[in-house]
C-alpha cells in the first residue's frame, strides 16, 4: 500500500479535492501575481528608458568623443548619436518658422518607438528607419504653418532637404532643445551641409547606449570621471517616470491582492485539512487495528499530502504563469512589453507558499491523526486530541505573516492587513463566544426554529466561533480588496479628469497675457491660471557655494530652476514643514518643493543664494511643500513672495486643454504668438489614460481571482460543520421533524453566523483599508458607511445560502440513506 493508492481512494471522499484546489489556488495566485509584478517592474524600468530612447545617455554640449563610442562598441553596447538644436526652417516661398531640429542616425531610437505617418494627422505607423540623407520629416503642424507638402524642398541653414514624412512621436521627445518649436527630424549626415552647427552654438549632442546591464555599468564607471562641464550621464539614477505612481500603486494593489490570496488559500487549506482529519479518524483507527504502525500512517498521509502539494504546486505554477501571461498581454501594447520577464523567482515563491501552507495548516491535523489510538474501533468516544490546534494555528498564522512580508516586501502593507485580521480574530472570536453562550436565554424564549438553531450553535460553540472567524476573514479580505480597488480607480479618475491640460505654453510676455486670454475665450479653451516665471539659479546654501554641474565633487550641485511668486499656496500643494507666508509678505523668504530641498540639503531656516540674471539675492526657507506631480498641472520647485520676485523680469506660463479634434487651433496660436514655446503633452496624456484603463482591467481580473479564493474559503468553512449538522438533522427527521423546521434551523444557524461574520469583516476591512490606503498606497481614506449594512446583508445571504445548499441532500433524501452513509 502506498500514498498514491491512498490518495486515489481518498479522492472519492471529496476533502482532498478542496485541499488540492486550495493548494493550487494559493500557488496560482502567488505565482501569477509575482510573475506579473516582476514584468510590471521590468516595464517600469523600460518605461523610464523609453523616455531616454536608450538605457543610458551621455548628454554633451560638444560633439561626443569618438573614443567613447568605440569603447562602448567594444563592450557590445549598441550606440547611436543624436544632435538637437533650434533653427529656422525656410521654404521655397521664403516662409519660415522656428523649429526644433533633431538629427539622427540609423539605429535611432535604441529603446521605444518612433511613430510616423505619411500625411499630417494621418494614420500612425511605427518607423523602421530614420530619415534618409536629404530627407526631412516634419511635425504635423508644420505642414500648415509653412504651407508645404511632401516632396517640397525645405532649408535648414544651407542644407536643402525634401519634405518626406510626418514625425508623430519620438520616445525622447522631451529631451534636448525640446520646446523651441515643432519638431523636425533629419539625418545626421546632412548636418555639415547646414553649416548651422559651429563651435559655441547652442546644440545638444546625445550619445545613446543600450545593452546588457553589466556592460552599461562598466561603461558608466569608465566614462563618469571623464565627463566635463556641460556633460552628463543619464539613466543611472531612477528618473521618476511619468507613470511611476500609477504603476507603483497598481503594483501595490497586486501585492496586496496576492498576500490576501495567500491568507485565503491558507485558510481554505486549514479548513479542508481539518475536515479531512476529522473524517479520517475512523479509517486510521481501523488501519491501525489492522496492524498499521503510527509511522506507517504518518508516511502514508504525509506522502499523500506531498503528492497533493506537488500536484497542486505544479498545476498552480502553470496556471499562475498563464494568469501572469494573460495580464501581460493586456498591457503589452501600451507599455511596449515584448516578452514576459521569465524568472524562477515567482515559482520559488509559489512553491514555498504551498510548502508553508500545507506544512503549517494541513500537516498538524494529519500527524495528530496518526496518534489516534487503535482502541477507537472499540470505543467510539475516543477522539482526536484537539488541544494543540490553537498552537498550530498560531504558528501557521506567524508563518503566513512572514510569507506575506517576504512576498510583498512591504512591512507596512503586511502590518495593515494583520491588524485588520487581528481585529476579526480576537474581537470577533471573543464576541462570538460571548454572544453564543448568552443566546441560550434568548433562544428558550423564542420559537422552536430559533431554539433549535441557537441550541445547535451553542452546542458547537467553539467550532461555531472558529467558523465565524474564518467566514469573517474571508469576507473581510474580499471587502478590503473591493474597497481598495474602488479607492484606486477613483484616484486615477481624479488624476486625469476630462479636460486635463495637455498643452503647456511658456515664454508669455506680460503684455501678451491679455491677448492670450482673449484667444482662449474666443475658442472656449479650458486653461489653468497664468503663472509668472523667472529663470534663476541656486548658487549658495547657508553661504556655502554649490559646485557647478559637471564638475567633479561630492554633495549638492547648483540648481537652475524656474522661480515663481505667489501670494497663496497653490492648489494641490501641501506644506509639510514650516509655514506658508502671510499674504503681502515683504520678507525675503522662499518655499521649496520637498525633494528639491532635500537634494540641495536645505531645511527650514536655510539661507539660499539665488542668482537671477546678473543679480544675487538671499532668501530664507520658511516652508517645504509637497507637490502633486501626477496632476500634469504647472508645478514649481521654488516659490517666492511677490514682493521679492515681482521686480525681476519675467515671462508667464500656463497650460490648457485642447481636444484632439481641435488640434489645428494650435497653429492659430503659434501664428498669432510666434514667440511662445508650446509643449504638446496630448499624446502622453492619452497614453497615460490608456494605461490606466488597462491597469484597471488587470485589477478587475485580480479581484475576480481573489473573490474566487474567498468563495473557496467560505465553501470549505461551511462544509467543515456539515457532517455534524447532517447527522443531527437526519436523526431529527427520523424522529419526525418537519422539513421546514430543519431547513429553517439550518438557515437560521448560518444566518446568525453570517451576520456576526459580516459585522466583524466590515470592521476589520475598514481598519485594514485605512492602513493600506494612508500608509501604503498614498491614497486618502474615507470610511465607507454603506459597507456596514452591505457587509452584514452579504454575510447573511452568502453564508445562509451556502449552508442550505451544502445541507440540501439532508432533507431531499430519506433519513435512512443519510444515516447509513455516516
Query: What DSSP string runs through 707-767?
Result: HHHHHHHHHHHHHHTHHHHHHHHHHHHHTT--HHHHHHHHHHHHHHHHHHHHHHHHHHHHH
Cβ proximity to other proteins, 67 vs 817, nearer residue: 817
Judged by CB under 8 A, the residue of 62, 76, 119, 378 near other proteins is 378
Cβ proximity to other proteins, 259 vs 370, nearer residue: 370
Span 231-290, contacts to other proteins by CB under 8 A: 282-283, 286-290
Does 1 help bind other proteins (rule: CB under 8 A)? yes
Query: Is the CB of residue 131 less than 8 Å from the CB of residue 150?
Result: no
In angstroms, give the least distance from the CB of 10 to other proteins. 6
Segment interacting with other proteins, rule: CB under 8 A, options 112-120, 293-301, 680-688, 736-744: 293-301
In angstroms, give the least distance from the CB of 1 to other proteins. 4
Does 5 help bind other proteins (rule: CB under 8 A)? yes
In angstroms, give the least distance from the CB of 294 to other proteins. 6
Distance in Å from the first CA to the final CA of the chain:
25
Does 359 help bind other proteins (rule: CB under 8 A)? no
In angstroms, give the least distance from the CB of 280 to other proteins. 9
In angstroms, give the least distance from the CB of 14 to other proteins. 9
DSSP bridge partners of 363 = none
Cβ proximity to other proteins, 5 vs 434, nearer residue: 5
In angstroms, give the least distance from the CB of 38 to other proteins. 42
Does 61 help bind other proteins (rule: CB under 8 A)? no
Span 792-821, contacts to other proteins by CB under 8 A: 817, 820-821
C-alpha cell at 731: 436523526
Cβ proximity to other proteins, 209 vs 285, nearer residue: 285
Query: Is the CB of residue 709 less than 8 Å from the CB of residue 25?
Result: yes
Helix 363-370 to helix 294-335 angle (10° resolution) is 170
Cβ proximity to other proteins, 694 vs 719, nearer residue: 719
C-alpha cell at 682: 496630448
Cβ proximity to other proteins, 294 vs 440, nearer residue: 294
Helix (H) or strand (E) holding 35: helix 15-50
In angstroms, give the least distance from the CB of 270 to other proteins. 22
Judged by CB under 8 A, the residue of 125, 293, 339, 517 near other proteins is 293
Segment interacting with other proteins, rule: CB under 8 A, options 83-91, 113-121, 371-379, 744-752: 371-379
Does 373 help bind other proteins (rule: CB under 8 A)? yes
Query: Is the CB of residue 765 less than 8 Å from the CB of residue 479?
Result: yes
In angstroms, give the least distance from the CB of 378 to other proteins. 5
C-alpha cell at 120: 499630417
C-alpha cell at 218: 562598466
Query: Is the CB of residue 28 less than 8 Å from the CB of residue 199?
Result: no
Q: What is the DSSP letter of 801?
A: H
Query: Is the CB of residue 103 less than 8 Å from the CB of residue 129?
Result: no
In angstroms, give the least distance from the CB of 737 to other proteins. 23
Judged by CB under 8 A, the residue of 9, 459, 671, 738 near other proteins is 9
Cα distance between residue 822 and residue 724, in whole Å: 10
Segment interacting with other proteins, rule: CB under 8 A, options 3-11, 161-169, 385-393, 704-712: 3-11
In angstroms, give the least distance from the CB of 281 to other proteins. 12
Cβ proximity to other proteins, 16 vs 72, nearer residue: 16
In angstroms, give the least distance from the CB of 380 to other proteins. 8
Cβ proximity to other proteins, 603 vs 727, nearer residue: 727
Cα distance between residue 610 and residue 589, in whole Å: 11
Q: What is the DSSP letter of 540?
A: E
Judged by CB under 8 A, the residue of 123, 200, 291, 387 near other proteins is 291
Cβ proximity to other proteins, 56 vs 288, nearer residue: 288
Residue that the C-alpha cell 514576459 belongs to:
340
In sequence order, the 6+-apart residues with CB closer than 8 A to the CB of 59 are: 176, 204, 205, 206, 231, 232, 233, 234
Helix (H) or strand (E) holding 593: strand 589-593
Cα distance between residue 729 and residue 739, in whole Å: 9
Does 731 help bind other proteins (rule: CB under 8 A)? no
Of 466, 441, 463, 465, nearest in space to 454 by CA: 441
Cis peptide before 109 (omega within 30 of 0): yes
In angstroms, give the least distance from the CB of 11 to other proteins. 9
Does 10 help bind other proteins (rule: CB under 8 A)? yes
Give the three-class secondary structure for 532.
Answer: strand
Cα distance between residue 117 and residue 90, in whole Å: 22
Cβ proximity to other proteins, 167 vs 300, nearer residue: 300
Does 13 help bind other proteins (rule: CB under 8 A)? yes
Q: Determine phi and psi for 583, rounding to 5 degrees.
A: -55, 140
Judged by CB under 8 A, the residue of 352, 377, 722, 724 near other proteins is 377
Torsion sign, CA atoms 26, 27, 33, 37: positive
In angstroms, give the least distance from the CB of 331 to other proteins. 46
* Number of residues counted as binding other proteins (CB under 8 A): 29
Q: Determine phi and psi for 637, rounding to 5 degrees.
A: -70, -40
Segment interacting with other proteins, rule: CB under 8 A, options 197-205, 372-380, 562-570, 694-702: 372-380
Cα distance between residue 402 and residue 400, in whole Å: 5
Query: Is the CB of residue 658 less than 8 Å from the CB of residue 682?
Result: yes
Segment interacting with other proteins, rule: CB under 8 A, options 1-9, 126-134, 159-167, 452-460: 1-9
Does 296 help bind other proteins (rule: CB under 8 A)? yes
Report the Cα 287 to chain-centroid distance in Å: 52
Does 12 help bind other proteins (rule: CB under 8 A)? yes
Q: Determine phi and psi for 629, rounding to 5 degrees.
A: -75, -15
Does 514 help bind other proteins (rule: CB under 8 A)? no
Does 675 help bind other proteins (rule: CB under 8 A)? no
Judged by CB under 8 A, the residue of 99, 130, 247, 292 near other proteins is 292
Query: Is the CB of residue 501 less than 8 Å from the CB of residue 527?
Result: yes
Residues that bind other proteins (CB under 8 A): 1, 5, 9-10, 12-13, 282-283, 286-296, 373-375, 377-380, 817, 820-821
Amino acid at each position: 500500500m502506498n500514498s498514491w493508492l491512498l490518495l486515489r481512494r481518498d479522492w472519492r471522499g471529496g476533502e482532498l479535492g478542496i485541499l488540492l484546489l486550495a493548494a493550487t489556488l494559493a500557488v496560482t495566485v502567488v505565482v501569477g501575481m509575482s510573475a506579473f509584478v516582476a514584468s510590471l517592474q521590468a516595464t517600469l524600468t523600460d518605461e523610464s528608458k523609453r523616455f531616454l530612447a536608450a538605457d543610458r545617455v551621455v548628454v554633451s554640449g560638444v560633439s561626443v568623443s569618438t573614443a567613447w563610442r568605440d569603447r562602448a562598441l567594444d563592450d557590445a553596447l549598441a550606440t547611436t548619436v543624436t544632435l538637437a538644436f533650434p533653427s529656422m526652417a525656410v521654404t521655397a516661398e521664403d516662409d519660415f518658422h522656428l523649429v526644433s531640429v533633431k538629427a539622427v542616425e540609423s539605429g535611432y531610437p535604441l529603446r521605444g518607438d518612433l511613430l510616423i505617418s505619411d500625411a499630417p494627422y494621418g494614420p500612425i505607423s511605427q518607423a523602421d528607419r530614420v530619415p534618409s540623407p536629404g530627407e526631412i520629416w516634419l511635425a504635423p503642424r508644420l505642414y500648415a504653418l509653412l504651407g508645404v507638402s511632401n516632396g517640397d524642398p525645405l532649408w535648414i541653414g544651407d542644407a536643402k532637404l525634401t519634405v518626406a514624412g510626418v514625425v508623430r512621436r519620438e520616445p525622447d521627445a522631451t529631451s534636448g532643445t525640446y520646446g523651441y518649436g515643432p519638431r523636425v527630424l533629419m539625418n545626421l549626415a546632412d548636418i555639415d551641409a547646414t553649416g548651422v552647427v559651429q563651435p559655441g552654438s547652442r546644440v545638444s549632442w546625445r550619445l545613446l547606449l543600450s545593452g546588457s546591464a553589466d556592460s552599461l555599468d562598466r561603461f558608466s564607471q569608465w566614462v563618469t570621471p571623464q565627463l566635463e562641464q556641460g556633460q552628463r550621464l543619464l539613466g543611472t539614477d531612477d528618473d521618476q517616470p511619468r507613470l511611476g505612481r500609477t504603476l507603483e500603486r497598481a503594483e501595490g494593489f497586486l501585492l496586496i491582492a496576492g498576500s490576501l490570496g495567500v491568507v485565503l488559500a491558507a485558510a481554505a487549506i486549514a479548513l479542508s485539512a481539518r475536515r479531512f482529519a476529522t473524517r479520517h479518524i475512523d479509517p486510521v483507527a481501523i488501519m491501525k487495528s489492522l496492524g498499521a504502525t503510527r509511522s506507517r500512517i504518518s508516511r502514508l498521509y504525509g506522502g499523500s499530502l506531498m503528492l497533493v502539494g506537488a500536484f497542486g504546486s505544479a498545476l498552480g505554477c502553470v496556471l499562475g504563469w498563464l494568469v501572469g501571461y494573460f495580464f501581460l498581454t493586456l498591457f503589452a501594447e501600451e507599455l511596449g512589453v515584448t516578452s514576459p520577464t521569465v524568472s524562477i523567482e515567482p515559482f520559488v515563491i509559489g512553491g514555498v507558499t504551498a510548502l508553508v501552507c500545507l506544512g503549517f495548516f494541513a500537516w498538524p491535523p494529519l500527524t495528530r491523526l496518526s496518534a489516534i489510538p487503535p482502541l477507537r474501533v472499540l470505543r467510539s468516544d475516543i477522539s482526536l486530541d484537539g488541544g494543540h490546534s490553537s498552537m498550530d494555528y498560531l504558528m501557521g498564522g506567524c508563518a503566513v505573516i512572514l510569507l506575506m512580508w517576504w512576498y510583498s516586501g512591504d512591512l507596512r502593507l503586511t502590518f495593515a492587513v494583520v491588524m485588520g485580521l487581528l481585529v476579526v480574530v480576537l474581537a470577533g472570536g471573543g464576541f462570538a463566544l460571548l454572544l453564543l453562550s448568552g443566546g441560550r436565554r434568548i433562544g428558550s424564549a423564542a420559537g422552536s426554529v430559533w431554539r433549535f438553531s441557537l441550541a445547535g450553535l451553542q452546542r458547537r460553540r467553539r467550532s461555531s466561533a472558529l467558523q465565524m472567524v474564518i467566514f469573517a476573514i474571508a469576507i473581510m479580505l474580499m471587502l478590503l480588496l473591493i474597497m481598495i480597488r474602488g479607492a484606486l480607480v477613483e484616484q486615477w479618475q481624479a488624476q486625469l479628469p476630462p479636460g486635463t491640460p495637455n498643452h503647456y505654453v511658456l515664454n508669455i510676455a506680460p503684455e501678451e497675457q491679455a491677448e492670450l486670454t482673449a484667444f482662449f475665450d474666443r475658442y472656449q479653451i479650458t486653461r489653468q491660471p497664468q503663472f509668472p516665471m523667472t529663470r534663476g539659479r541656486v548658487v549658495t546654501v547657508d553661504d556655502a557655494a554649490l559646485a557647478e554641474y559637471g564638475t567633479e565633487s561630492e554633495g549638492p550641485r547648483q540648481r537652475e530652476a524656474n522661480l515663481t511668486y505667489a501670494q497663496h499656496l497653490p492648489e494641490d500643494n501641501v506644506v509639510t514643514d514650516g509655514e506658508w507666508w502671510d499674504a503681502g509678505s515683504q520678507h525675503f523668504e522662499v518655499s521649496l518643493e520637498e525633494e528639491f530641498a532635500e537634494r540641495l540639503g536645505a531645511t527650514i531656516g536655510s539661507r539660499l543664494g539665488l542668482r537671477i540674471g546678473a543679480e544675487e539675492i538671499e532668501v530664507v526657507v520658511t516652508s517645504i511643500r509637497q507637490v502633486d506631480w501626477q496632476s500634469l498641472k504647472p508645478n514649481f520647485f521654488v516659490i517666492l513672495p511677490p514682493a521679492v520676485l515681482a521686480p525681476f523680469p519675467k515671462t508667464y506660463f500656463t497650460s490648457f486643454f485642447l481636444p484632439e479634434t481641435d488640434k489645428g487651433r494650435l497653429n492659430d496660436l503659434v501664428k498669432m504668438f510666434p514667440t511662445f514655446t508650446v509643449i504638446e503633452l496630448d499624446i502622453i496624456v492619452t497614453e497615460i489614460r490608456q494605461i490606466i484603463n488597462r491597469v484597471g482591467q488587470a485589477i478587475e481580473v485580480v479581484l475576480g481571482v481573489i473573490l474566487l479564493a474567498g468563495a473557496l474559503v467560505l465553501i470549505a468553512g461551511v462544509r467543515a460543520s456539515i457532517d455534524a449538522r447532517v447527522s443531527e438533522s437526519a436523526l431529527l427527521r427520523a424522529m419526525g421533524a418537519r422539513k421546514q423546521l430543519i431547513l429553517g434551523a439550518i438557515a437560521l444557524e448560518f444566518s446568525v453566523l453570517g451576520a456576526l461574520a459580516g459585522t466583524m469583516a466590515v470592521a476589520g476591512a475598514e481598519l485594514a483599508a485605512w492602513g493600506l490606503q494612508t500608509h501604503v498606497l498614498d491614497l486618502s481614506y474615507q470610511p465607507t458607511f454603506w459597507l456596514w449594512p452591505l457587509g452584514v446583508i452579504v454575510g447573511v445571504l452568502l453564508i445562509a445560502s451556502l449552508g442550505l445548499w451544502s445541507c440540501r441532500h439532508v432533507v431531499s433524501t430519506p433519513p435512512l440513506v443519510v444515516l447509513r452513509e455516516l
